[in-house]
Structure 1
């Protein structure tokens, strides 16, 4: 991902917010046989305030990626969507795509079976607790033997990134009135409705305004 200083996202709490809210990740490795990509959810590590993430892969993806032996790139995609040129006014314009993306890279640490079980338990709870009647990993009809067999088919990892690249391209290069038009278009009913992207643009716009006020 090519970085643009105008779109750079460097605030760690903001990056953590994106990782927490959009845990479905693409894992990319460069192997002797070429690039390989897999798709798994990741979670921020508990008890830390950095960008360390934990996750798992199903066997034999650990061998395919050389997990723990070479650099792993984790790509997370926040809100994104199409921006029609009609929102730019009557002048010449072409469409674009607004997005928020986070790239975390480093050599992951492999987890013990006990650590992996704890991460799998957290992962299930992370999504099941959205429901009023969550079905957690250790609850019946599951039993310990069943859960442990499932764990044995996976490999857990922890990645503390040595490189972080985060980008928030949300029309920051446009005048405030154009941004407001885009946000209104994304929030309205129609073919380009995208409330999540509209909310993310509002957040970025508020940050820009606060920075301008501070600079005065």
Structure 2
């Protein structure tokens, strides 16, 4: 992604924390020569400095057929906010948008019940542990036939991240005064998503001071 120097974020711990907090991602692959995207919850794991993304798609979704051959991209985004030029010191300015985005690249490995039942069970358990741990006993209490039917209808995947890019566009290219004014204005907005951007700006400013 286009990352001007002022907006680049390469702190892996910070990026992983953002991915975990915003784990409903857009997964993009090239299927038959054209981009194909699915919107999926992902489990973000870090083991010995290796980042892995775990999830699954419906078996009828053709995107998984592109796995294991070419690179895919998982896009994680959070809150975003319109920034009015009226907030800047100087009159000659234009509107913009503040946001945070993290791009994770890798080649997904396919997991199916027929070929790797243990891996499929592990993938399901990790998804449950991440999103609703209390559901695990319910899931394992279902009949074997029902659970196998559900798992036969999906294709799991595990993607080792080979490239990670972060973009924190939080008015860092503006003066200190402009950044403080924009942050204060966003923090007063009734929309919690817009206030979240203001809070990210405030935290970023505190790190610089």
TM-score w.r.t. length of structure 2: 0.86
The Cα shift of 1:60 comes to: 2.4
- Secondary structure of the residue aligned to 2:67 is coil
The Cα shift of 1:24 comes to: 0.9
- Tell me the distance in 1 between the aligned counterparts of 2:193 and 2:28: 31
The answer to which structure has the higher strand fraction is: 2
Matches within 5 A, 1:38-117: 38-45=38-45, 47-61=47-61, 65-89=65-89, 91-111=91-111, 112-117=116-121
- Secondary structure of the residue aligned to 2:93 is coil
- Which stretches in structure 2 are left out of the alignment for 5+ residues? none
Aligned to 2:156: 156
TM-score w.r.t. length of structure 1: 0.83
Aligned to 1:143: 142
- Which stretches in structure 1 are left out of the alignment for 5+ residues? 210-216
2:125 aligned with 1:121, yes or no?
yes
Name whichever of 185-194 and 90-99 sits farther off. Answer: 185-194
Q: What CA RMSD, in Å, does the superposition of the two structures yield over aligned residues?
A: 2.4
- Secondary structure of the residue aligned to 1:104 is strand
Q: 1:156 to 1:182 in 2, by over 3 A?
A: same
Aligned to 1:179: 179
Aligned to 1:204: 204
Q: 1:7 to 1:120 in 2, by over 3 A?
A: same
Provide Cα deviations, 1:79-106, integer angstroms capped at 9, x if missing partner. Answer: 2221122211351221111111111112
8 Å CA contact retained: 1:185, 1:193: no
2:25 aligned with 1:25, yes or no?
yes
Name whichever of 168-177 and 53-62 sits farther off. Answer: 53-62
Q: 1:105 to 1:193 in 2, by over 3 A?
A: closer
